[in-house]
Structure 1
Amino acid sequence: MYFVGIDVGLYSVKSVLVDEERILLSRGVVSEEEGSKAAYRVFQEILKEGNIPEDEIASIVSTGMGRKEVAFANEKRTDQVCIARGAYYLFPSARTVLDTGAGGCRAMKLGDHGKLIDFSSNSKCAGGTGSFLEAAARVLQLDVEGIDSLALKAGSVSRVSSYCAVFAESEIISNIHRGFSKESICAGICESIAQRMHDVLRRVRIEKEVVLCGGVATNGTVVKMFEAELDFPVLVPKDPLMVGALGAAIIARDLIR
């Protein structure tokens, strides 16, 4: 039997296919389509890639902010439940999880067997999220990857004190006018995000091991600065954007067992 998890996010849709023993395939697309259309397209693509007939899919679980739009899903689960399940599947030693996506920064505390026992987020502020990183990149006329590349070369850090994306943009512009290098400004942006991530994580009482997932986890400088805030290393999945979809797929499998 086969099982599918579909994560409908702010800008992208991710899908993971598993069988009764292992992860088989994952697929993600950035799309401006309606969530329902994008989700079905990704679902069909992953079936085609795996050469699996649709009637062999035993169960489908959707998650993410657009989970309710996935009419063909058997069940729907919240982001935090699926992220917690996916992180625990990848790292059974996980006790705290931080997801940093475009739509928010979310901290989860796990109990025995990966059960979600506490949760906190910064949903009212962009600081510590991919949206904050994208806004900063626009001001600097860079892509998001460019911020990481330049930050790695920084000899100093031009600090960004505001967690609010709007005020932070003003600070970045001010630092440009004051003659700070792009490298130091990028390092300051990464540091600000790492500090905000740490603040959110502390709300659920940090306990090792910590798993970091979501789009911001692909920024190596932010990861290093976040580890410096914690004073210990974190666990980062090979594909940090797929953790929610993976968790949904594992839950889909659990529903049948």
Structure 2
Amino acid sequence: MSHPNWTPDDVGEYYNALTPASDVFLAGNEHHGYWYDDEDEAPIEEGSARLTRKIVDTLGLRPGEHLLDAGCGAGAPAVLIADEYGVRVTGVTISSVGAQLAQARADASGLSDRVRIEVGDYHALTHPENHFDAVVAIESLIHAVDLDKALREFYRVLRPGGRIAISEPTRLSPEVTMPSMYIREPAKAEDLLDAFVAAGFVLEEWVHCGRRVFGQSGRRFPKHAESLREEFVARFGEEAFLGLREAMKGLDPGPENMSYLILCARKPTG
């Protein structure tokens, strides 16, 4: 796959500036949400938690296992996973601001013994081979400067038989682009599947759920932004709010253009 013209440090600086505001907007999540239909009245935070669970459930986690959350953001998914699945979580983020917020969230939740957040680059992990039972990357590989290298790193640090689950927007139309900085052009789902196989993984499960992710987040997020206008302006200024509102445009690119892939694969045992 193509290599973008930015570096992991560029992504880190971007999220250092963005994360305090996104932490307010998405309560520690850095990803979309999941809703069943237009009548589903779950709030934004619950929609994001649903999507986290839907991705993580594919891993079949067992209590006591050790999970790498690659691109952990402000830590809400890591806390949810440690709490609800009874596992240890090591979160890695390229953003020092995100890492501080994430560790503070874990500590405040009483999970400091099971959630550890590190500043690091998932293209070049510092952990030894065969270290983790599972890896999750929730909408974080969209920032990869070298997707193949990142997948090889995940393969290296997973134990034989370990599992990996990722989620990512996928392209259906050749014209579609993503309205944000430091995001590589969306891949076709089949190209992502091929990339996992090339890295040595065995594909186990994948599902497309764009209508319940993009179709719903795109409708709900702008309204949520408006509901937070007063708090945003008070904390970050009018310009920050206007930037947030602008970022909401294009969140629903249409089911004919984009889908949303959840993929689970396994490192072979032999």
TM-score clears 0.5: no
Higher relative contact order (CA 8 A, sep 6+): 1
Task: Give the greater-gyration-radius structure (CA).
Answer: 1
Structure in which a larger fraction of residues adopt helix: 1
* TM-score normalised by structure 1 residue count: 0.31
